[in-house]
Structure 1
Amino acid sequence: MILISSRLDDASTSNVIDWLYYQAKDYLRFNGDGFDASFSYRNGLLYITSHYMEEEVPLICIDSFWYRKCGLNICQKTNSHTYDDIFPNKTEETYKYLSKHASEFALSEFKAYREFIFSHIIRKARTRLGSYKLRELNKIETLTLAKEIGLSVPKTFILNSKNELVKILEIYGNLIIKPLYEGVYDIGEEYAFVSYTSSISKDDLPNIPSYFPVALFQEQIEKQLEIRVIYIKEICYSIAMFTQAYEHSQIDGRRCPQEILRMTPYKLPLEIEKKIVTIMNQIGLSYGALDFILSKNNEIIFLEINPVGQFSAYGNACNYHLDKIISEQL
């Protein structure tokens, strides 16, 4: 059986499953935003119960495990009034105290159980694609490793004071600012709040306080195009994205709607591909989406790695058939 950890809102997973169905492969998908599966551990065996299966299944032999997205969501918060029967005659302050600490305890228990579930699945799977433990990478560590391997990277600074920022702007001119960790992505029915990579210049200094939370700054490099590399088990599928054709996406290509973005296949130099294989092997990733830019000086510059980055739209635009390729790896 092929086990797939994902989310209901991830269309890429569904595209791969279409191929698995065509190939008559047995699979089970569980989704973090669907609460459609539960796990039970009894006498040394881990069982899964799914909305899509009639019976509970022991996870003894797993042919393949694909970690696409986190298929086990954080447990719901505990209601403070859950403890009415256990501790009657409580004040509201006691309710609040129990609610806070009980929720923290329940969350830590859930995380420990989730760690075990994924570790067990990984240990039992004969073939694995993607990584639960490496689903989030430290951008600075990745940039440092890339530079050590021999990839070109932007000049990078972590600052928290205006004086330091002024000095860097004097030397390098405009900078870009991006999150050290993950950006904000909050989409509702009537609103959307998304953080993008932005440009910082001397004109912005009057609006910047003397001190601010630590932030990641990089030199702003003029680029010809962006390069997205989909990495699948030591094979690089590269896509050129002409985001510079649109003013609003020259700093952050994600601002360009994909329906109007021109994308074409791109062949990286062999030495760059070898370095990509090296960095992915050193990190321990069998899948990832890597971002590069081609500068005005024809230099290929590494930006970052997303271990769970999107692939379907890029693969479809370049006829790479990545959905089919992933299905064949499982």
Structure 2
Amino acid sequence: MILVLSYGSFEQGTDPVIDWLLHYKADFLKLTTKDLYTQDTDFSIDFLDKKMIIKGNDYFPKIKSVWCRRFSEKVDFVKYNQWPYTQSIYELNREQDSFQDAMYDLLSEKKWLMNPRLGSINKINVQARAHAIGLKTPQTIVTNSREELRKFHHRNGAVITKPIEFSGFFRAGSQTFATYTTTMDLDMIDKLPLNFNYSFFQQKVAAHYEVRTFYLDGQFYSSAAVFDSTDRPADIKMNYSEDFLHWVNYQLPETVENKLRTLMDSVGLNTGSIDLLRSHDGEYYFLEVNPGGQYSAPSERNNLNVEKHIAEWLINNDR
């Protein structure tokens, strides 16, 4: 049996894989974070005798492969954003984290697609490893100084900023708030205070195009995002549906793929979405890897069938 750990509501990367599992008539169980902290599902886990009883059935001996994708949904802080609710929600979420951590250990003997403890990895550490392996990476600093940032901009010509950990989003009622990679020009830098909350800054590489590659246990499914305009945006997520952005199938050089395999092995990932830039002089720059990154857009536009390959991996490892 395949165990799928994911969101309770629609998750654009998970649901199409579920469709393929249904198509193949695979034996699977989907468990969501909401199943853990709501009263909708009867479950009982015995960590000593290794039993996972859900709705009266012990699934633990049946499970062979586990797919963990964004199994991190929490109680809605925005909805209950007042004391004493905030403290109790904080404690409930800590309880959930500890329980899930114990569950990961219980299932550690199974075949995992995506190490659950690496759902969010440190971009700085991964970039340092990529650099040591021989992949080109943009120049990077973390600073709280406007003057140091001005010097960094002067050395590199153009600078972007983004979160150190994760560029996510959150919802408040009907509104959605998201964080994107942003270009920092000198006017923006000059408006900063002398010292600010420390932030992550990178050289903005003059790129010919961007490469998105989905990595699945040694295999690469790559697409290039090519722009009609020479003015490439800092974050192509803002332009996915624009006419001037074109997705084409892409083959990375073998030398680059081998270095990326070494990188993924070194950080303990057997899957993830990798972002690279190809500069005008033909160099490939590694930007980051997102263990739970989205792959639906390039998969659909380029007929890569990533969701089908994930389902087949789970089925094959379930055997």
What's the TM-score bracket when you normalise by the shorter of the two chains? 0.7 to 0.9
Higher Cα Rg, which structure: 1
Deviations 1:138-195 (A, max 9, x none): 0000000000000000011111111211222222222111111223512345433222
Count of aligned positions: 304
Could you tell me which of 161, 176, 179 is aligned with 1:177?
161
State which drifts further: 23-32 or 301-310.
23-32
**1:40 CA drift (Å):** 1.8
Change (3 A) 1:120 1:243: farther
Cα contact 2:272–2:289 (8 A) shared by 1: yes
Q: CA 1:183 to 1:244, structure 2 compared with 1: closer, same or farther past 3 Å? A: farther
C-alpha displacement of 1:259: 6.6
User: Is 1:253 the equivalent of 2:236?
Assistant: yes
Q: How does 1:187-266 map to 2 (within 5 A)?
A: 187-243=171-227, 245=229, 250-258=233-241, 260=243, 261-266=245-250
User: SS of the counterpart of 1:166?
Assistant: helix
Amino acid of the residue matched to residue 266 of structure 1?
Y
Question: Percent identity between the aligned chains?
Answer: 28
Relative distance call for 1:246 and 1:30 in structure 2 (3 A) is farther
For residues 295 and 34 of structure 2, the distance between their equivalents in structure 1, rounded to whole angstroms, comes to 20
Q: 1:316 to 1:75 in 2, by over 3 A?
A: closer
The alignment's C-alpha RMSD in Å is 2.5
The 8 Å contact of residues 146 and 190 in structure 2, kept in 1 or not, is answered as no
Secondary structure of residue in 2 paired with 1:182: coil
Say if 2:108 is the partner of 1:122: yes
Normalising to structure 1: TM-score of the pair? 0.84
In structure 2, stretches of 5+ residues that fail to align are 78-82, 315-319
1:40 corresponds, among 41, 44, 49, to 44
Specify whether residues 38 and 75 from structure 1 end up closer, same or farther in structure 2 by C-alpha distance, changes over 3 A only.
Answer: farther
Structural mapping, 1:16-165, within 5 Å: 16-32=17-33, 37=41, 39-42=43-46, 44-49=49-54, 55-70=56-71, 73-74=73-74, 104-123=90-109, 125=110, 127-165=111-149
What SS is found at the alignment partner of 1:133?
helix
Worse-matched range after superposition: 312-321 or 209-218: 312-321
Q: Which has the higher contact order (CA 8 A, sep 6+)?
A: 2
**Could you tell me how far apart the structure 2 residues matched to 1:262 and 1:48 are?**
48
Aligned residues of 2:50 and 2:106 also touching (Cα < 8 A): no
Write out per-residue CA displacement over residues 27-58 of structure 1, whole angstroms, 9 at most, x where no aligned residue. 01122357565642235233242xxxx53334
Aligned twin of 1:304: 288
How far apart in 1 are the matches of 2:214 and 2:107? 25
Hey, what does 1:6 align to over in structure 2? 6
SS of the residue corresponding to residue 211 of structure 2 reads: strand
